[in-house]
């Protein structure tokens, strides 16, 4: 928790970046970009009916007695840890509801909360059914629940002039989805939502270790390797980095330690990076000439935690010929965007999906 004994009334607006990897929460009246930034993980002791969330729960992934791939329908004696979101949408409704309630209680020092307005950022490609699930997860905690496209919130949070009659291009890479969009006059002129993002980089590292080194590692270990020595663009300094990795030998099942180098991890992540680059290229090829000229002048903005992959902006710049930038505090762009929307709600309300509205998937 980022504050101590902050007194918050219940009738406040709340903005949420409900992400596959991390959930970030902003509350009206708090002079912070995000009150909470926690991993989107839930650990439940079904016998005691207790719930842990965030970083504490994340340390339990792969270490609990319960089968973590089978949801919360387990025996009452089991302790399980799950990720309630997959590819940016709810895959375990019960776990998602527990996560949201626990985080809001934590943000309000244990007090129950009923927000005036709750704004949830969602990927552009979610289905109507997935939208209903996301809305239902928030309705227990707010009088009104609004949804906003994640790419718009990210662009706004990255200080892009999305309401102007000029082209602005954003690539928002989260844990489960990548959003590529071009905005003008507050609307998405072109957009594409990929269910390929940071988690796929992690999975590529894990698969490489299994194929090349016969080493099986957990998700957290693979993520550490990605962060510490991973990259997607050739760089001598990074390619020479190395890390000792401990895991389980695929054939013998015994513990084993191997040394991996930055170059091999870059090669392992290359295929996932190419999928994102191709989505950027496809969008650019469809942009009208006048807006394309704006993008050439302004460049492409990257946001989201997945955009922190070393060399990603350099790779896109090389492949497209357009300068790419990493937003300030990219992990916070979406939740910062929800704050800006709620702070000036009348200006942006027409761009949101309201409580009585259900839009078709993009």
Residue with tokens 């004696």: 77
For residues 88 and 21, state if they share a domain: yes
Whether 32 maps to a domain, the answer reads yes
Question: Do residues 44 and 98 lie in contact, with contact meaning Cβ atoms separated by under 8 Å?
Answer: yes
- Please check whether residues 259 and 203 belong to one and the same domain: yes
Residue 263's region, left for phi above 0, alpha for psi from -120 to 50, else beta, is alpha
Residue 284 within a domain: yes
For residue 344, what is the DSSP state?
A: T
Q: Is the pLDDT of residue 355 over 80?
A: no
Do 54 and 103 form a contact (C-beta atoms < 8 A)?
Answer: yes
d(C-alpha 283, C-alpha 113), whole Å:
41
User: Is there a single domain that holds both residue 256 and residue 299?
Assistant: no
What pLDDT is stored for residue 356 in this prediction?
64
The first and second tokens of residue 216, run together, are 């099986």
Please check whether residues 323 and 191 belong to one and the same domain: yes
pLDDT in tens, 331-348: 999 999 999 999 999 999
Is 243:227 a contact under the CB 8 Å cutoff? no
Shared domain check, 345 and 310: no
How much of the chain exceeds pLDDT 70, in percent?
A: 90
Asked if residue 170 is part of any domain, the answer here is yes
Domain count, the chain: 3
Q: Is 185 helix (H, G, I), strand (E, B) or coil?
A: coil
> 222 with 205: CB under 8 angstroms?
yes
Q: For 293-332, write each residue's pLDDT tens digit.
A: 999 999 999 999 999 999 999 999 999 999 999 999 999 9
Query: Is 247 found in the same domain as 210?
Result: yes
Find tokens 């709340």 and name the residue: 14
At 9, list the tokens: 């009334």
Domain limit, last residue, from 216, 249, 269: 269
Domain of 280, CATH number, reads 3.30.420.40
Shared domain check, 89 and 220: no
Q: Which is nearest to 86 in space by CA: 167, 252, 200, 8?
A: 200
- Give yes or no: residues 183 and 316 share one domain: yes
53 occurs within a structural domain: no
Query: pLDDT at position 184, please?
Result: 95
Are 35 and 89 in a shared domain?
Answer: yes
87 located within any domain: yes
46/77 Cα distance (integer angstroms): 6
The CATH number linked to 244 is 3.90.640.10
b/e per residue, 95-131, with b = 16+ CB within 10 A?
bbbbbbbbbbbbbbeeeebebebbbbbbbbbbeeebb
pLDDT digit string, tens, across residues 200-228: 999 999 999 999 999 999 989 999 999 99
Q: Is residue 325 part of a domain?
A: yes
Categorize the per-residue pLDDT at 114 as very low, low, confident or very high, splitting at 50, 70 and 90: confident
Question: Is residue 288 in a domain?
Answer: yes
Q: Report the C-alpha gap between 360 and 133 in whole angstroms.
A: 14
Q: Whole domain around residue 117: which residue ranges?
A: 14-40+83-153+334-351
Residue 132 is assigned to a structural domain of this protein? yes
My answer on whether 278 and 262 are in the same domain is no
Instruction: Kindly report the backbone phi and psi dihedral angles of residue 281, in degrees, each rounded to the nearest multiple of 5, phi listed first.
Output: -65, -45
Residue 1 pLDDT > 60: no
Q: Among the residues of 108-250, which ranges form H helices?
A: 128-139, 150-157, 198-213, 219-229, 236-239
Residues 128 and 224 in one domain: no
Instruction: Give the domain-ending residue among 269, 298, 314.
Output: 269
pLDDT band, very low/low/confident/very high, at 88 (cuts 50, 70, 90)? confident
Determine the Cα angle at 39 with ends 260 and 241, to 5°.
20
* Residues 253 and 290 both lie in one domain: no
State which of 232, 253, 269 marks the end of a domain.
Answer: 269
HEC-encoded secondary structure of 50-104: EEEECHHHHCCCCCCCCCCCCCCCCCCCCEEEECCEECCEECCHHHHHHHHHHHH
User: How many angstroms separate the CA atoms of 96 and 108, rounded?
Assistant: 18
For residue 184, give both structure tokens: 């003008």
Indicate whether 10 pLDDT > 80.
no
């Amino acid at each position: 928790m980022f504050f101590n004994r902050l007194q918050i009334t219940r009738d406040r607006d709340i903005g949420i970046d409900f992400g596959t990897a991390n959930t970030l929460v902003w509350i009206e009246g708090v002079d912070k970009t995000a009150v909470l930034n926690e991993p989107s993980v839930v650990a439940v002791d079904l016998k005691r009916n207790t719930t842990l969330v965030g970083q504490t729960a994340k340390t339990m992934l792969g270490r609990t007695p319960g089968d973590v791939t089978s949801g919360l329908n387990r025996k009452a004696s089991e302790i399980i840890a799950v990720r309630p979101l997959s590819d940016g949408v709810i895959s375990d409704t019960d776990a998602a509801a527990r996560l949201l309630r626990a985080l809001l209680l934590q943000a309000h020092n244990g007090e129950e909360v009923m927000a005036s307005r709750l704004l949830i950022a969602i990927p552009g490609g979610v289905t109507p059914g997935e939208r209903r699930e996301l809305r239902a997860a928030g309705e227990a905690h707010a009088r009104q629940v609004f949804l906003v496209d994640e790419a718009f919130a990210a662009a706004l949070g990255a200080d892009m002039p999305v309401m102007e009659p000029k082209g602005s291009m954003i690539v928002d890479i989260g844990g489960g989805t990548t959003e590529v969009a071009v905005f003008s006059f507050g609307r998405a002129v072109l957009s594409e939502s990929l269910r390929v993002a940071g988690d796929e980089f992690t999975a590529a590292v894990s698969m490489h270790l299994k194929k090349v080194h016969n080493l099986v590692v957990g998700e957290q270990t693979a993520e550490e390797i990605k962060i510490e020595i991973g990259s997607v663009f050739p760089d001598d300094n990074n390619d020479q980095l190395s890390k000792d990795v401990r895991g389980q030998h695929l054939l013998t099942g015994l513990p084993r330690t191997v040394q991996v180098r930055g170059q091999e991890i870059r090669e392992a992540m290359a295929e996932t990076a190419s999928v994102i680059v191709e989505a950027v290229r496809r969008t650019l090829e469809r942009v009208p000439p006048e807006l394309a000229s704006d993008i050439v002048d302004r460049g492409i903005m990257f946001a989201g935690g997945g955009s922190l992959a070393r060399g990603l902006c350099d790779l896109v710049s090389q492949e497209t010929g357009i300068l790419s930038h990493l937003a300030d505090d990219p992990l916070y762009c979406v939740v910062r965007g929800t704050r800006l929307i709620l702070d000036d709600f009348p200006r942006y309300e027409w761009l949101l999906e309201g409580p009585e509205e259900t839009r078709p998937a993009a």
